Amino acid sequence: MIFLVAALLVLGVLVGAAAYLPLPVTLVLGTLILLWLAVFTVRERRRRTRSRAGHLAEKGA
């Protein structure tokens, strides 16, 4: 519960800061964050797929 409150507090601070930035700067930063999250997602899926394939090979499935 405390984690949720802290996350909402940080979100509020970031949204408030974005309100004072010019629109093009906000869009560029938002795009960079989106790309960062996309790269993270792809890396995690590849890692999980590889670990599952190795795990299944060990069991002989």
* Cβ atoms of residues 34 and 42 within 8 Å: no
Q: How many CB atoms lie within 10 A of CB 16?
A: 9
User: Could you give the CA distance from residue 4 to residue 49 in angstroms, rounded to a whole number?
Assistant: 29
> What is the average pLDDT across 29-46?
94
Distances, alpha carbon 61 to alpha carbons 18, 51, 55, 57, in Å: 51, 14, 9, 6
Give the pLDDT of residue 53. Answer: 64
Question: Under DSSP, is residue 1 helix (H, G, I), strand (E, B) or coil?
Answer: coil
Q: Is the pTM of this model over 0.85?
A: no
pLDDT digits (tens, 9 = 90+) for 14-33: 888 888 889 999 899 989 99
pLDDT of residue 50 exceeding 90, the answer is no
